[in-house]
Structure 1
């Protein structure tokens, strides 16, 4: 997972470039110093939700943190089928950014592929809202302690300050996820 090390280096670089202390980022992004250290060292994968929160807090593009490239379009951006910028986040999750070239996004749309896993569900929290639309497969999704199953054609929108996570059931699942 070389991508984890690349994102970690960009996090450290951003903090250095903006002359931010660990305490500054911890307070602004609501993480512990230990978790920030794990993100910046590459010991722990950095959730997209954290990157989204960091990008908004410090006025940088999510795409720059994820992929190391600044977006250039500001009126519209077309992503052709299968051409979104891809990143393998973990063994179970693969993201395809569907608007990587659009500047100053208010939302971040992704095609997410989730592989089935027996590992415990990882819960995330971040500011804003999230919308998930199931394209294929079956998902188990937990939001604020309520667990539900979603099938192709189902969608859910939720307050992403509530602890939430998902996992594929039985076979690979694909969703459109929009984070604001």
Structure 2
């Protein structure tokens, strides 16, 4: 997955004739971090990927899709695919088809256990989470709530929010993000 994200980032950035410095200025991320992502030396969180995508005027799912294989029906090869987390605490699997710049982006997210509390952030659009397994802690403005299987969370992303797994078990969830390009 990190391989695909890094290659897609580099290809898209070059297609748009943008430098790492320009992306860094728009996102608040460092040039060295962006370079490491492109060179597959660092993983990227959904928060950072969202900033990068917005700076390039694409959906974050752009980085998960195989642009050579258009598709509308997505089939998992195996129901229990192994997840390669590398240096990240998360694994994202796009559930989107081949619609360019979609209005929303569905993903299957797996979150490793024992994560330290994270900081809230904001971006354009809305987010929806449906917990499949485990206990996910969500932060919205000043509130912190634990979600269990069957619980959901739907927020305006322009308000401070984030989520993490502070338990000893893996969390699986469906994550849907809407957005608007401004």
TM-score, normalised to structure 1's length?
0.73
Q: Does 1:153 align with 2:150?
A: yes
- Please list every run of 5 or more consecutive structure 1 residues that lacks an aligned counterpart in the other structure: none
Q: Could you tell me which of 45, 48, 72 is aligned with 2:46?
A: 48
Q: Which has the higher strand share?
A: 1
Q: CA offset at residue 130 of structure 1?
A: 1.2
Partner of 2:17: 19
Q: Could you tell me which of 102, 126, 129 is aligned with 1:129?
A: 126
- Equivalent position SS for 2:144: strand
CA contact (8 A) 1:70 1:101 kept: no
State the number of aligned residues.
174
Distance 1:40 1:96, change over 3 A: closer
Counterparts of 2:36 and 2:145, CA distance in 1: 31
Q: Could you tell me which of 106, 130, 135 is aligned with 1:109?
A: 106
Counterparts of 2:77 and 2:35, CA distance in 1: 34
CA RMSD for the aligned pairs?
3.3
Q: CA offset at residue 148 of structure 1?
A: 1.2
- Please list every run of 5 or more consecutive structure 2 residues that lacks an aligned counterpart in the other structure: none
Q: CA offset at residue 143 of structure 1?
A: 3.1
Partner of 1:79: 74
Range moving further from structure 2, 59-68 or 43-52: 59-68
Distance 1:12 1:78, change over 3 A: closer
- How big is each residue's C-alpha offset from its partner over 1:95-120, in whole Å with a ceiling of 9 and x where there is no partner? 22111433321211011122322x42
